[in-house]
Amino acid sequence: MDDWKKILSGTFERIDETEKKEQEVGERITENRTKAEKFISSVVAPAFEELKPVLEKHNQKVQISTGETRDRKEPYATINVRPIDPASLLSFTYEIIIIPRADFISISYLGKFMDKVGHEYELVPSNDIPNGFQRSDISRIVKDEVKRDFALKYQYMVERHLK
């Protein structure tokens, strides 16, 4: 019988289908990575640049960086705010990492601050932390939403520290 030929033929068809699906997933991830990089360069980084003079006006030293995470090559942007006077209250780091997947793009936030004695606190996501983003679709998020989210999280950390 030629049953074994049908078995092998079906097996190779399944391998071909799987390889095709994997290629399509890879293409969607690449497409979403391109969208994520564009979001960082055209929305997040310019929003951070607009925050910078406002923060500097209040005697804060501001550093902005963008790039890709080392381990997973995910696009990110970071704004680090430190007082010019080292005896001042705190320093604050706010980072947005964009995680491109095949079917969606996820936004991860990291906020942390260090008080004047060197204790570091991380902004752990919870219901009591304000969120300035009204949408999860990065193609619809505008600079003002990024700036508002930064301001809300900065305010939250300062108020938490001052209690």
40 against 73, higher pLDDT: 40
Question: Whole-prediction pTM value?
Answer: 0.78
Name the CATH topology of 3-162: Aspartate Aminotransferase, domain 1 (3.90.1150)
Hey, what amino acid is at 136?
Answer: S
All structural domains of the chain with their residue ranges: 3-162
C-alpha separations of 43 from 13, 113, 143 in Å? 44, 24, 5
Highest average pLDDT, of 90-94, 130-134, 144-148, comes from: 144-148
Q: What's the Cα-to-Cα distance from 117 to each of 4, 15, 62, 70, 87, rounded to whole Å?
A: 74, 59, 20, 30, 9
Residue 145: closest CA among 36, 41, 48: 48
